Structure 1
Amino acid sequence: MIGYERGTAEPEGSMDDPVLLQRFAAWLQPGPSAEDAERSVFFKDGVIVLDTNVLLSLYEYTATSRKDVLSALEQTAGRLWMPYQVGLEFVRGRRSTLESRKRALADAASEVNKKLMAARKAIVEAKKVVCAQLDKYARAQQEIAGLDALVADSGVDAHLDVYRHEFKRHLDMLKADHGLALNSADAEDPILKRIAKLYGENIGEQPDDDILRKRLEEATAFRFPNKIPPGFSDSDKETPLKSAGDFLLWEELIAHVRQLPPSGRRVLFVSNDTKEDWYEQGSGSSSSRPWPSLVDELRRRAQGDLRIETPPHFFGGVREFLDAELAADTYAEIERVSEAFEARVPDTPLAVTEETASHLDPPEGLALDAFNAVGLVSSAVRAAVESTSPSQRLFKWWLIGVTAQLGRRDAGETEPSVSIAAATRSSKPLSRDWVPGTALSPGEWLHRDSSWIAPWFIDLLDSIPHADRTILRRLAAQQAESNRRSGS
């Protein structure tokens, strides 16, 4: 389903039709298609409104596809209009979109490493099974020694490194092909500059506080409880302002259309969002379509015509009606990003970082599971993992993450991924306050001259008994080596 449209002068159907057919024409029309006769008018003469998720998708394309998409959008310059709500969400959402991509690639590298660590462990365990049988039934010490040599740490690692390096090469290619550094989300952001130039002055004004308050009250008290589109699917967000984002956009759009000349009140709205608060979900063999009530509401309140499309169909129209050039690979990527948006689970847990760990409590019992998984025994460390103090959250999250990363325990499906390191093997520290590995004695830390250790981890080691200190040091060193190999 790609959209829904109505005639430009009066409701579908002749004025000679019965009133019932006139009044509910939007509901009685068959599902639209890409061959709708009047579709081209929306591209050539309509106001084009891109939802926030369409603009943020520009940060998810490869550099080549992004260039093609921006060039295609230039064919619509002059007819693009940005509601204030979209602009606000766009400028605030750029950094999190970049961080999400960076985190996804880092998580992939970490997951690959976990799988390889699990493979290494499985090979060692398999060797033990064979050696046990050789010893029990043949006393074949020479053969046992041969297997021990074959599966020695360096031998297994050498074989796995072939896969590790190849997997890393592909992930590094993805990072390079993206073409945007995380710090490009500031005022020098090249995408932001291109978007600003595309829209020019065609950006909505910030609504007055009293208007905003009135719209919020209408959304939360009347429309959302009655599931009147758009936006009611977001009614459970943290605040009314966040819940009402789609409705605020919709109200701005209606107010804007009212100000246009009667002959120019066609709106082409483009969004990746096909949830039930925008689309009437089909049943049986029926496909979904944008809610006819949205078409009716725009006509009733602003005497305008509405068409709603997803990005793949919109860019197909740009290519067909505006003669924009879009390579086949670019169009395939537009489809991929759009499908990925639709497939996202709203409550998917985000990665926990050193910056966010202090604000988040781990799921109950998870830190204790990690404690037990690596054989920690001291009452001091156990007290730390069972503490509810915010000061212990960073350590607890690190322990949860490192035990999953190194394959010491199986991470649950709903468990957040953790991107926290206690040490690193590199020429430069991750932060200025990190301590060089030479702060620990040669017997306590390998690669002292090429290592850096987090200050919180140094403080932790100084406060716990020797047995657990040794376990935690080894975990940190193994994680640093694992990260170095995977390039994360």
Structure 2
Amino acid sequence: MSDPVLLQRFAAWLQPQPSAVDAERSAFFQNGIIVLDTNVLLSLYEYTETSREEVLSALEQTAGRLWMPYQVGLEFVRGRRSTLESRKRALADAASDVNKKLMAARKAIIEAKNLVRTQLDKYARAPEEVASLDALVKDAEVDKHLSVYRDEFRRHLDMLKTDHGLALNATDAEDPILPRVAELYGEGVGQQPDDDVLRKRLEEATAFRFPNKIPPGFADSDKDTPLKSAGDFLLWEEVVEYVSHLPEPSRRVLFVSNDTKEDWYESGSGTRSSRPWPSLVDELKRRAGAELRVETQLHFYSGIREFLNVELAEDTYAEIVRVSETYDAKIHSDGQLVTEETAPRLPPPEGLPLVALQSVGLTSPAVRAAVDSSSPSHWTFQWWLIGVTAQLGRRVPDDREPGVGFAAASRSSERPSPLWKPGTVLPPGEWLHRDSSWIAPWFMELLDATPKIDRAVLRGLAAQQAQENRRSHG
């Protein structure tokens, strides 16, 4: 006896959240088609060379069933360069930052020696001790000791430049990943939709689906152009059309993506998503007579290991976890609070740090370089600047802009953290309420490296924010 109509009609909504132990899961790895989202393919540029080879070998076991929508192919071939450029900038910024910090260390050592020397000369009249100190801490000796660290740091950074097996200035012809991906897919790449079809799909997305938050893709509705906003929906439409023409036994789609935003996943009880939208399962069943399973990259590769008997080394799987978590942190920043702990792992939205900088009139090349930097060592400052300019009303934040939940300074009777500096480390007149203030160590480093023209602006922002926070907390 068949199920009542109500249970049939809403079967997708009544099913529990998909899990790794579902009895039906193996069928999606062994039959039907596999669609990899653009972010999964671009992840290949993030792995080390050894791990990338293992991942590509694992994907070769699914090569006969991989299918690439035209939209994915377009985003992939256009996104490769920016992925490589981002890594190139990050490594260049890291090398520059290391050199600056070593120069600051050199300066601090010499200044510390001069301070002790002055005290010896002033209070002890100990010329022998002064001469001994001068002999111990010579500029050349300091440089010699620091060069050990400089060489070792440089060695590690140079290793990172070569460990991925990708030339940072590679041309298309020198890209080793592109031909491997092309070989994986063979003829399994979608055709470019006709202009009339594309126009019709864009109208449906922007006029009907996005305003009503019908998945997928509505979370991207505020991008620069309708074409950019509708990328996920265009991909989805290609999948629906393609699978509807497959033989009945092959109408299974395993869609793999790192994207778990609200336009792909139903909201859970907390701040994270719980399961792929049942409406996606319903729509593919209704329009194409096909079954759908949506998995993250992590679950997909664990499924390959389990159902296709593919070996992936633990180091490789750890890299998959690392790359996925980085992407996951980025896409889940919308609507969530960026903390001092998460800021160094989360690149700010492109262009937002510059908007924050311009809103307060910071003009020095040093601060502009820190704002433009793609190095994680500058992300904490960039996020703070984004947060403080919004908090103090210096600019109007975007509705989808992440909130920032940390400050550069605090007014309290107790030190917030053992590393925070008392406000008295700054000269009188440079900080309000010096005796009751504490300053974050990263902010002190920033002030030390900032020219006078911008230092006063940064100090003022931090001090005002500390006062606002104290007032709001009673």
TM-score by length of 2: 0.71
Q: Could you say which structure has the greater relative contact order, defined with CA pairs below 8 angstroms and 6 or more residues apart?
A: 1
User: How do 1:213-362 and structure 2 match up within 5 A?
Assistant: 213-284=199-270, 288-344=274-330, 348=348
Residue 214 of structure 2: SS of its match in structure 1? Answer: coil
Distance 1:298 1:255 in 2: 10
User: How do 1:442-481 and structure 2 match up within 5 A?
Assistant: none
Q: Deviations over 1:209-238 (max 9, x none)?
A: 111111112212222222221112211211
Q: Partner residue of 1:368? A: 363
Asked whether the 8 Å contact 1:56–1:90 carries over to 2, the reply is yes
For 1:140, give the aligned amino acid: A
For 1:216, give the aligned amino acid: L
More deviation, 185-194/49-58: 185-194
Q: Which sections of structure 2, spanning at least 5 residues, go unmatched?
A: 335-346, 387-450, 452-474
Q: Are 1:99 and 2:85 matched, yes or no? A: yes
Distance 2:8 2:98 in 1: 60
Q: CA RMSD in A?
A: 3.2
Q: Are 1:66 and 2:52 matched, yes or no? A: yes
Identity of aligned residues (%): 71
For 1:116, give the aligned amino acid: L
For 2:154, give the aligned amino acid: K
Asked whether the 8 Å contact 1:349–1:415 carries over to 2, the reply is no
Q: Are 1:28 and 2:23 matched, yes or no? A: no
Offset at 1:340?
1.3
More deviation, 88-97/184-193: 184-193
Q: Are 1:167 and 2:162 matched, yes or no? A: no
Q: Are 1:15 and 2:2 matched, yes or no? A: yes
Q: Partner residue of 2:402? A: none
Offset at 1:185?
4.4
Distance 1:238 1:286 in 2: 26
Distance 1:286 1:50 in 2: 22
Distance change (3 Å), C-alpha of 1:204 and 1:285: closer
Q: Deviations over 1:394-453 (max 9, x none)?
A: xxx679889x9xx9xx9655679xxxxxxxxxxxxxxxxxxxxxxxxxxxxxxxxxxxxx
Offset at 1:321?
1.3
More deviation, 99-108/73-82: 99-108
Distance 2:213 2:247 in 1: 32
Q: Deviations over 1:355-398 (max 9, x none)?
A: xxxx9997366663458x9xxxxxxxxxxxxxxxxxxxxxxx67
> Higher Cα Rg: structure 1 or 2?
1
Q: Partner residue of 1:184? A: 170
Residue 280 of structure 1: SS of its match in structure 2? Answer: strand
Distance 1:286 1:142 in 2: 66
Distance change (3 Å), C-alpha of 1:185 and 1:336: farther
TM-score by length of 1: 0.69
Asked whether the 8 Å contact 2:284–2:290 carries over to 1, the reply is yes
For 1:276, give the aligned amino acid: E
Distance change (3 Å), C-alpha of 1:89 and 1:414: farther
Q: Partner residue of 2:130? A: 144
Distance 1:210 1:111 in 2: 51
Residue 226 of structure 1: SS of its match in structure 2? Answer: coil
Asked whether the 8 Å contact 1:231–1:244 carries over to 2, the reply is yes
Q: Which sections of structure 1, spanning at least 5 residues, go unmatched?
A: 1-13, 352-358, 374-396, 417-471, 473-488
Q: Deviations over 1:442-488 (max 9, x none)?
A: xxxxxxxxxxxxxxxxxxxxxxxxxxxxxx9xxxxxxxxxxxxxxxx
Q: Partner residue of 1:123? A: 109
Distance 1:165 1:120 in 2: 15
Offset at 1:97?
0.9
Distance change (3 Å), C-alpha of 1:114 and 1:33: same
Distance change (3 Å), C-alpha of 1:217 and 1:400: closer
Residue 211 of structure 2: SS of its match in structure 1? Answer: coil
More deviation, 70-79/25-34: 25-34
- Aligned length in residues: 368
More deviation, 340-349/360-369: 360-369
Asked whether the 8 Å contact 1:229–1:278 carries over to 2, the reply is yes
Asked whether the 8 Å contact 2:216–2:233 carries over to 1, the reply is yes
Offset at 1:285?
10
For 1:348, give the aligned amino acid: P
